[in-house]
Amino acid sequence: MREPPPDGTRDKPTVRPVAPHVRDAYRGTLVLNSDYDGPRAEAALASGMADAITFGRTFLANPDLPARLAEQAALNPVDTATLYTRGREGYVDYPRLSSGGPGKTLAQGAASR
């Protein structure tokens, strides 16, 4: 279930949060999404609000997101200019934590457009 928070980076809610009501009524696996980072995801899981969290843009920008979350490492910011575009750029070229991995810096990406 995607429910952008009031401080979300894309789309603002026009109604009060629905997920708590879904959680009350639905005992199955509830997966929440939108604007989660590590701490927010942990809080939603710890409170029982969600059984799992999915990451969209953050995963695009951080191909090694699980490792970054586990290490509490800094996240690459999302380059919104490459979202919903054709081609590889913005999908497979974000830098990984390990310097030996594939990728380029966002500055290099911007320069090549």
Ligand X SMILES: Cc1cc2nc3c(=O)[nH]c(=O)nc-3n(C[C@H](O)[C@H](O)[C@H](O)COP(=O)(O)O)c2cc1C
For 33, the 3-state DSSP assignment is strand
User: How far is residue 51's CA from residue 81's CA, in Å, rounded to a whole number?
Assistant: 32
Q: Which residue number, 56 or 103, has a Cβ lying nearer to ligand X?
A: 56
Residue 73, amino acid: A
Positions in the binding site for ligand X (CB under 6 A): 2, 33-36, 55-58, 83-84
* Nearest distance from C-beta of residue 29 to ligand X, angstroms: 17
User: How far is residue 68's CA from residue 61's CA, in Å, rounded to a whole number?
Assistant: 11
Q: Which residue number, 10 or 98, has a Cβ lying nearer to ligand X?
A: 10
Q: Which residue number, 77 or 98, has a Cβ lying nearer to ligand X?
A: 77
